[in-house]
Structure 1
Amino acid sequence: MSQHPHYILLPASPLFIAFSLLIAFLLNLLPWGQWVGIPDFVALTLVFWSIHQPRKVGIGIAFFMGLLMDVHDASLLGENALAYTLLSYFAIMIHRRVLWFPMGVQALHVFALMLLAQLVGLVVRLMVGGPFPGWLIFAESLVAAILWPFVTWLLLAPQRRATDKDDTRPI
Structure 2
Amino acid sequence: MIMPRPADQLLLPANPFFIALTLVLALLVDMVPLGRLAAMPDVLAVVLVFWGVHQPRRVGVLWAFLFGLVMDVHDGALLGQHALAYSLLSFGAISLHRRLPWFNLFEQALQVFPLFVLSHGVAAAVRLMVGGMWPGWWGLLAPVLEAVLWLPISILLLAPQRRAPDRDAHRPL
Normalising by structure 1, what TM-score? 0.94
Q: Distance in 1 between matches of 2:84 and 2:42?
A: 15
Partner amino acid, structure 1, of 2:87? T
| Count of aligned pairs between the two proteins | 170
Structure 2 gaps of 5+ residues are none
1:22 maps to what in 2?
A: 24
Q: Spell out the pairing of 1:8-157 with structure 2 (5 A cutoff).
A: 8-32=10-34, 34-157=36-159
Q: For residues 50 and 66 of structure 1, do their structure 2 counterparts lie closer, same or farther at Cα, with a shift above 3 Å needed? A: same
Q: Distance in 2 between matches of 1:85 and 1:33?
A: 25
Please give the per-residue CA displacement for 1:56-113, whole angstroms capped at 9, x wherever unaligned: 1000100110000000011111110011001100110011111111211110112111
Tell me if the contact between 1:110 and 1:144 (Cα under 8 Å) persists in the aligned partners.
no
Tell me if the contact between 1:59 and 1:88 (Cα under 8 Å) persists in the aligned partners.
yes
Instruction: Identify the range of structure 1 (93-102 vs 28-37) with the bigger mean alpha-carbon deviation.
Output: 28-37
Structure 1 gaps of 5+ residues are none
Moved beyond 2 Å, runs of 4+: 35-38
User: Shift of residue 5 of structure 1?
Assistant: 4.4
Alignment RMSD (CA, Å)? 1.6
Partner amino acid, structure 2, of 1:125? R
Q: Distance in 2 between matches of 1:78 and 1:87?
A: 14
Q: Distance in 2 between matches of 1:82 and 1:125?
A: 12
Partner amino acid, structure 1, of 2:156? L
